Amino acid sequence: MSDVQEFRITLTVDDFDAAVRLYRDALGLPEVADWSSEQGRVLLLDAGRATLELFDAAQAAMVDDLEVGRRVSGTVRFALQVPDADAAAASLVEAGATSVAPAVDTPWGDRNARVAAPDGMQLTLFTPAEVS
């Protein structure tokens, strides 16, 4: 049993307002707390259940090739489960993200789309295959 109670990722971004528009407003992550002060701005957003997925270089290359057609992501990429990967990608692009690749159907049955946030973070938006 783990002693870890919460998995929190902290992003330092150059354009705070653009990040808020993308993650809170377009993606719909609920705001949990606003700890902004004269020293700096910070929002805590609820991203649901978190898992840590570890890839070796070969797996990262395979996923990039599948989703984008070539190796493009860095050492960190967010994968976010959404009800409709195509619609979520379109919404994020409208909010300032850049489309990296359109949605594809994976060999394991998920639908994955790739976008890049204004800060450059690559996001895989995935909709799991229906379980029958």
Query: How many structural domains comprise the chain?
Result: 1
Which residues, 6+ apart, have CB-to-CB distance to 121 below 8 Å? 11, 76, 77, 78
Tokens 């860095």 map to which residue? Answer: 74
pTM for this entry? 0.88
pLDDT < 70: residue spans in the chain? 131-132
Element (H, E) at 126: strand 122-127
Task: Specify if 66 maps to a domain.
Answer: yes
Domain holding 36, by residue range, is 16-127
Task: Specify if 72 maps to a domain.
Answer: yes
Task: Specify if 64 maps to a domain.
Answer: yes
Task: Specify if 46 maps to a domain.
Answer: yes
Question: Residue 39 maps to which CATH number?
Answer: 3.10.180.10
SS3 state of residue 101: strand
Sign for the CA dihedral angle at 10, 54, 80, 122 comes to positive
Task: Specify if 30 maps to a domain.
Answer: yes
pLDDT at residue 132, rounded to an integer: 39
